[in-house]
Structure 1
Amino acid sequence: MVTTYTCQNGLRIVSEHIPHFRSVSVGVFVNTGSRDERPEENGITHFIEHLLFKGTKTRSAKDIAREFDRIGGDLNAYTSKEYTCYYAKVLDHHASLAVDVLADMFFNSVMEPEEIDKERLVVKEEISMTEDMADDDVHEQLWRVMYPDNAIGAPILGTVKTLDGFGRDQIFDYMERHYTPSNTVVSVAGHIDQELLRQIERLFGTFERSNPGKPHVLPIFVPGKSIKQKETEQAHLCLGYPGLSLKDDRLFALAVMNTIVGGSMSSRLFQEIREDRGLAYSVYSYHSAYSDHGTLAIYGGTAPHQVGEVEQLIRGSLQRMTDGDISEAEVEDSREQLKGNLVLGMESTGARMSRNGKYELLHGKHQTVDDIIGLIDAVKRDDVLELMKLTTQAPALSIIRSQ
């Protein structure tokens, strides 16, 4: 059972007690991501995520790493376009230590200038690594094309130019504006007890920062095109279409549609382009849903002289499905696959913690697994065909290929 408690400062604690597990996962979710950044701040959310591991008033960066290594635990973090998460997974009798370290990082990181400069070099290497991996870079280029005038189209990592502009005062100012109690959820799942929940409330439930924030500017999808030349053996192609927001009731129908289009090994695109024609090793589709919009993207990697053919095959397959070439059996198989992925994916404390934290942060409510299974079962073929019309719009296009 998932329980949510709101502290006196507005911070929410969401917990799920799973008595037969021997592990505990805890995550601190902050409702800020790259889309909250001003143009000159692009990448600062991700940079702060790195810096919170670089030492506190009582622990050095090495101390933080050693504490988790010696207990066989996992400590990590990630930044998305809409939120940031710091999380840990440990054996149940080390849960108190995990909460203490996360709170120390969250409240007491010192951000020494020399550590900021060192981590700036690390993130620059991360940016270079992404740019070197054309199958990653093509997605970044797609987002720039789709949303050229909105922060959601900018890279989560930022750029070398913006990274060089981040100073200690700017970092603390950003945290003061966004790392607020009302913006924060602490999620914990596993073999937990009331004392652990009281500890979380003691550490996180009294700090005060007040910032009303400002609503996101709704992204306007642009069906543009980007072709980037670089040294690469393959050509990489991405097509992007408008999708659905997290709050759209049709989201589960879109999940079924995506599974049929390119979300599995038995999908139309995988079977036609890879299995039947041998034109690509990797071809797939995915949907990204956010608070106020969504994006459907399709990727294919192929030989440079075949990129035009692969693009036309993708468009042709989408058109046939839009025209009605989707069977009841495909819809049924996709529903079953989604249900299987959902249930099997929940068999860890980390997955439960993550799901609960994101639901509380982004929805403010929770659905049981049975609720979600019911919504998936309710998807009909006509619902899928109606959503296929999304792909009849002019797409955004990103291509990376050799000169």
Structure 2
Amino acid sequence: MIKRLLCIALLLALPLSAVASSQDLQRFSLANGLEVLILPDHTLPIVSLGFYIPGGVVAQEVDNSAAHITYTLLSEGTHSYSKQDIHAAEDRGGSIETFARQRTGVIRATVHRDDAQTSLSALISMHQEPLLPAQRLDVVKNQTQAAIANRQAVAARHAAYLFQQSLYQSTPLAFATQGQSDLTAQLTREQVQAYHQQAIRITDGTVFVAAGDVDESLVEHITARLEQLPARQLEGVEPFSTFADNSPLDEKHSASTQQAHVFLRYPAPPADDHCFAPMHIASTALGGGMGSRLFRELREEQGLAYSVSASMGVTVANPGMRVSIGTAPGNITEALSGMERQVKRLFREQLTENELERARNYLLGNHLLSRETVGDRVLHQAIHTLMGLSHSYDEDSIKALEEVDLNQIQDCARQWLADAKPDRFVYGEPSE
């Protein structure tokens, strides 16, 4: 903890330009629909290259882990590169990553400058012509089912999964990266191949980022290679659209567990709204870290909680403020009442100056720590681009946090929370 606090203090002392800057960002579109971002940083001879693809889990038809499994199989070999060839850069300290997120998928490499062109070719081959070998499919399915079993065995994770399913039932947002075990077991190679064709091998709307020790000759090479990719677009789903939900949700699930889990979800502003920064600070003051109101009052003073949190995601679609608590089954009613009481305090009374500064520094510190590497900064830049946010969103969001005052926080909390009917979800309700 002391080391983390020192890191935050040092990072907060740095000028913004020393941590992340969009001033040198080059941005252009290709005829096949690819959007290319070039972010030079010649501090080290390291290059981060990658496809950031709209789709991810929400491009699945059912909750069968297809996105996760297909992205995992991409690095198992292609028609042009063996698995060993793909991972060769790792022998020299580089990395290759392929993974699915809720609304996006990622194929990227972070390598020495000398390996950039070879790694680019491997990334393109994974994007366009992976083998998706049948003999590895069963192995990855078994690994995925083991991860699902682990989630089901951990009450907090299983409860969060059930809450998401109940809230977005019958829409793709109900799907998890590692979905339902029975549907995952039934996943076929033909379905994996179809997912690749429909949701990975696309160019229209995909963002390709090259960051780090990138010079003009490498940019020209990257552009020439990417221009050759055939134009394809994602069909059937708009990943960053707003999906229908079942609000206001009010569900209680009985379960034999020593700890119950209670979730509240309140409406919240999207990332490009003027109230986002004030509400981000409000949610952090409410439940971000050990200095938050929920931690101090419900956990430390009343002893109602083992874990408490409140958070808002950076998103333009389906935004929300989630509040959660892990408590003894016999304390559910009291804990729920305490959570709602603390939320109401956000618009009924102002934060103190100390609460504002603690929440602001907490967010700024976490923001900077999450962007320590070139790869980290690239991921955030690409996701913001896919969302349609400004290329300077990182700098703009820091400035917004620095300028928030107590009146703005209370005004925005009143606007978003005063008349809100929160979604309520309880897992671990004692059986009668």
Q: TM-score, normalised by structure 2?
A: 0.83
Cα 1:369–1:290 change in 2 (3 A) is: closer
Counterpart residue number, 2:190: 169
Distance 1:288 1:219 in 2: 18
Q: Is the 8 A contact 1:145 1:397 kept in 2?
A: no
Q: How does 1:53-202 map to 2 (within 5 A)?
A: 53-61=75-83, 63-65=85-87, 67-179=88-200, 180-202=202-224
Distance 1:231 1:89 in 2: 45
**Offset from partner CA, 1:236-270 (integer Å, 9 cap, x none):** 22222222333433222221112111123211112
SS of alignment partner, residue 294 of structure 1? coil
Please say if 1:206 is aligned against 2:206.
no
Q: Is the 8 A contact 1:139 1:398 kept in 2?
A: no
CA RMSD of aligned residues (A): 2.7
1:83 CA drift (Å): 1.0
1:325 CA drift (Å): 4.2
1:395 CA drift (Å): 2.3
1:31 CA drift (Å): 0.6
1:36 CA drift (Å): 3.1
1:106 CA drift (Å): 1.6
Counterpart residue number, 1:5: 28
Q: How does 1:233-248 map to 2 (within 5 A)?
A: 233-248=258-273
Q: Is the 8 A contact 2:35 2:206 kept in 1?
A: yes
Cα 1:93–1:282 change in 2 (3 A) is: farther
Cα 1:212–1:154 change in 2 (3 A) is: closer
Cα 1:232–1:197 change in 2 (3 A) is: farther
Structure 2 residues without counterparts, runs of 5 or longer: 1-23
Q: Is the 8 A contact 1:53 1:105 kept in 2?
A: yes
Deviates more, 1:197-206 or 1:45-54: 197-206
1:349 CA drift (Å): 0.8
Q: TM-score, normalised by structure 1?
A: 0.88
Q: Is the 8 A contact 2:34 2:203 kept in 1?
A: yes
- Pick the aligned partner of 2:332 from 307, 310, 315: 307
SS of alignment partner, residue 49 of structure 1? helix
Q: How does 1:371-382 map to 2 (within 5 A)?
A: 371-382=396-407
Q: How does 1:351-370 map to 2 (within 5 A)?
A: 351-363=376-388, 365-367=390-392, 369-370=394-395
Distance 2:426 2:98 in 1: 30
Please say if 1:320 is aligned against 2:341.
no
1:181 CA drift (Å): 0.9
Counterpart residue number, 2:66: 44
Please say if 1:267 is aligned against 2:292.
yes
1:369 CA drift (Å): 4.8
The percentage of aligned residue pairs carrying the same residue is 22
1:289 CA drift (Å): 4.3
2:178 maps to a residue whose letter is L
Q: Is the 8 A contact 1:80 1:156 kept in 2?
A: yes
- Pick the aligned partner of 1:18 from 17, 41, 63: 41
Q: Is the 8 A contact 2:89 2:115 kept in 1?
A: no
